[in-house]
C-alpha cells in the first residue's frame, strides 16, 4: 500500500507594496520643502529692514578681503583681531573725512543761501534796469517767448521755495541721524563676521545650492567684479569730477565751491547725468552777469575735461570687469536708487549682473534645446 503523500504547504512570501512608502517619502519631502519656504519667507521679512546694511557689508568685505588676508597672516591667524582692525580702519577712513566734509558743506550751504538771497533781492529791486532787463534782450529767450515772463515774481517764488527746501532738508537730516548711525553700526557688525567667517559662510551656503560648483564660483566672481567696478568706476570717478568741478568754481570765484563740488560728485554717481547739470548753468549765469570769457572757459572745461573723464578713466579704473552695457547700467542704477534709496547705485548693478549671469547659465544648460528650436523654425 503506497505511503500517503504529504501535502507540503508553501507559504508565499508577500512583498510589501513599494507605492505607499514612496508616496509617504514624497509627501514628507514636499511638506518639509513647504515648511522651509514658509519659514524662509518669514525669516526674510523679519530681517528685510537690515537688508541694505547686510548687502553693503558683503560688498565692502569682498572689496577689502585681500587686505584682511594680509593682516591675518601678519597676526598669525587671529581672525577676530584681524576682522576688528579692518572694520576700525574702514570706519576711521570713512567717518573722519565725512565729518569734516559734512561740516564744510553745511556751513557753505547756509552761507550760499544768505548771499544768494541778498543778490536775488538786489536783482528784484533793480527791476528792468538790471539783470532782468538784460534777460528780455537775449534773442534765444525772445524766440522761446520767455522774454515776456514775469521774472520778478518767478525769482520771489524761487526764494520762498529755497527757504522751504532748506528747512525741510535740515529737519530730515536731523531726524535721519539716528537711522544713519544705526545702519552704520549694523554694516560694520555684519562686516566683522563676513571678514572673520566669510569663507565658512560661503562654504555653508554652497551646501544648499543645487548649482554646479563652477556656476557658484562664477556668481561669486561676478558679484566681486561688479562691486569693485561700481566702487572704482562710479564713486572714484564721481569724486574726481566733484574735485575738478569744485576747484574750477573756486578759481572762477563762484561762491560755495565745496558745496557745488559735493553736488557734482553726487550727480556723477548717476550714469548719463553728471556734473554738467551744475557746470553748464553756472557758465550761462557767468555770461549773463558780464563775465563772458569766464563763462565760455567754464563751459569748455565742463564739455572737454569733465565730460571726457569717463572715457579716459573708466577703462583704466574699471577695465571690462562689469561686462555690462551702459544702457543696462543706467537703468539698473536708477531702478536701484528708486527701490533701495541712495545705496541703490551699488545694489542695482549687482542685481542686474546676477540676472545676466543666470541668463548665461540658462543659455549653457539649454543650449541644445535652444539650437534645436532655432533649426526647427528655420526648416519650418
- Packing angle of the helix pair 344-365, 326-340 (nearest 10 deg): 120
Grid cell 570769457 in the structure block, residue: 293
279 close to 267: Cβ distance less than 8 angstroms: no
**Residue 190 has what pLDDT?**
93
Grid cell 505607499 in the structure block, residue: 20
Enter the C-alpha cell of residue 111. 552761507
Give dist(CA 113, CA 183) in Å, integer: 31
53 close to 186: Cβ distance less than 8 angstroms: yes
Give dist(CA 64, CA 198) in Å, integer: 12
Q: What percent of the chain has pLDDT over 90?
A: 8
Nearest to 124 by CA among 154, 165, 166: 154
Complete DSSP assignment for 324-340: --HHHHHHHHHHHHHHH
Complete DSSP assignment for 259-295: HHHHHHHHHTTSTT--THHHHHHHHHHHHHTT-HHHH
Enter the C-alpha cell of residue 294. 569766464
**Residue 150 has what pLDDT?**
56
345: Cα within 13 Å, side-chain hemisphere: 15
**Residue 8 has what pLDDT?**
47
* Contacts of 192 by beta carbon, 8 Å cutoff, 6+ apart: 83, 84, 87
**Residue 195 has what pLDDT?**
92
Give dist(CA 253, CA 182) in Å, integer: 39
Give dist(CA 128, CA 165) in Å, integer: 28
The domain ranges of the chain are 50-208, 213-380
pLDDT of 218-272, one tens digit each?
888 888 878 777 777 777 888 888 899 899 999 988 888 888 888 888 888 776 6
CA distances to 67, 116, 190, 226, 329 from 70, rounded to whole Å, are 5, 51, 20, 23, 33
Please tell me whether residue 366 adopts helix, strand or coil conformation: coil
Instruction: Please count the residues of the chain.
Output: 380
**What tens-digit pLDDT sequence spans the chain (380 residues)?**
455 554 444 445 555 555 556 777 778 888 888 998 999 899 999 988 888 889 889 888 888 888 899 999 998 889 999 999 999 998 888 877 877 777 777 777 777 766 666 666 666 665 555 555 566 656 655 555 555 555 556 656 666 666 666 666 666 666 667 777 888 899 999 999 999 998 888 888 888 888 888 888 888 888 887 877 777 777 788 888 889 989 999 998 888 888 888 888 888 877 667 788 888 888 887 887 778 888 889 889 888 888 777 777 766 665 566 667 777 877 888 888 888 877 787 788 888 888 888 888 888 877 766 666 555 555 65
Please give the DSSP secondary-structure letter assigned to residue 147.
Answer: G
Give dist(CA 50, CA 57) in Å, integer: 11
Nearest to 62 by CA among 38, 79, 42, 86: 86
Sign of CA dihedral 248, 251, 257, 262: positive
Dihedral, 74, 80, 81, 82 alpha carbons, nearest 10: 40
Q: What percent of the chain has pLDDT over 70?
A: 71
48 close to 337: Cβ distance less than 8 angstroms: no
180 close to 188: Cβ distance less than 8 angstroms: no
**Residue 1 has what pLDDT?**
44
Nearest to 266 by CA among 285, 246, 283: 246
**Residue 127 has what pLDDT?**
56
Give dist(CA 11, CA 65) in Å, integer: 70
Amino acid at each position: 500500500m503506497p505511503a500517503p503523500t504529504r501535502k507540503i504547504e508553501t507559504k508565499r512570501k508577500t512583498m510589501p507594496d513599494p507605492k505607499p512608502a514612496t508616496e509617504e517619502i514624497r509627501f514628507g519631502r514636499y511638506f518639509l520643502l513647504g515648511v522651509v519656504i514658509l519659514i524662509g519667507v518669514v525669516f526674510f521679512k523679519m530681517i528685510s529692514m537690515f537688508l541694505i546694511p547686510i548687502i553693503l557689508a558683503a560688498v565692502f568685505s569682498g572689496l577689502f578681503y585681500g587686505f584682511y588676508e594680509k593682516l591675518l597672516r601678519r597676526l598669525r591667524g587671529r581672525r577676530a583681531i584681524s576682522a576688528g582692525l579692518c572694520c576700525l580702519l574702514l570706519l576711521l577712513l570713512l567717518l573722519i573725512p565725512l565729518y569734516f566734509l559734512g561740516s564744510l558743506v553745511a556751513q557753505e550751504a547756509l552761507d550760499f543761501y544768505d548771499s544768494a538771497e541778498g543778490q536775488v533781492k538786489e536783482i528784484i529791486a533793480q527791476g528792468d534796469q538790471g539783470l532782468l532787463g538784460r534777460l528780455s534782450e537775449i534773442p534765444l529767450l525772445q524766440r522761446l517767448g520767455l522774454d515776456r515772463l514775469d521774472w520778478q515774481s518767478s525769482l520771489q517764488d524761487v526764494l520762498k521755495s529755497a527757504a522751504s527746501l532748506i528747512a525741510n532738508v535740515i529737519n530730515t537730516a536731523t531726524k535721519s541721524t539716528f537711522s544713519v548711525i544705526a545702519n552704520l553700526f549694523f554694516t560694520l557688525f555684519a562686516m566683522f563676521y563676513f571678514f572673520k567667517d566669510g569663507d565658512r559662510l560661503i562654504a555653508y551656503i554652497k551646501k544648499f545650492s543645487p548649482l554646479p560648483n563652477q556656476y557658484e564660483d562664477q556668481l561669486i566672481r561676478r558679484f566681486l567684479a561688479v562691486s569693485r567696478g561700481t566702487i572704482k568706476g562710479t564713486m572714484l570717478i564721481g569724486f574726481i569730477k566733484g574735485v575738478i568741478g569744485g576747484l574750477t568754481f573756486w578759481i572762477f570765484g563762484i561762491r560755495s565751491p565745496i558745496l557745488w563740488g559735493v553736488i557734482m560728485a553726487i550727480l556723477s554717481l548717476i550714469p548719463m547725468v553728471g556734473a554738467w547739470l551744475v557746470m553748464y548753468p553756472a557758465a550761462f549765469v557767468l555770461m549773463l552777469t558780464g563775465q563772458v570769457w569766464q563763462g565760455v572757459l567754464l563751459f569748455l572745461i565742463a564739455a572737454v575735461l569733465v565730460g571726457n573723464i569717463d572715457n579716459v578713466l573708466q577703462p583704466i579704473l574699471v577695465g571690462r570687469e562689469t561686462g555690462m552695457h551702459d544702457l543696462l547700467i543706467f537703468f539698473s542704477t536708477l531702478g536701484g536708487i528708486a527701490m533701495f534709496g541712495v545705496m541703490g547705485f551699488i545694489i542695482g548693478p549687482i542685481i542686474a549682473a546676477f540676472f545676466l549671469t543666470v541668463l548665461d547659465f540658462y543659455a549653457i544648460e539649454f543650449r541644445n534645446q535652444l539650437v534645436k528650436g532655432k533649426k526647427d523654425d528655420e526648416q519650418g
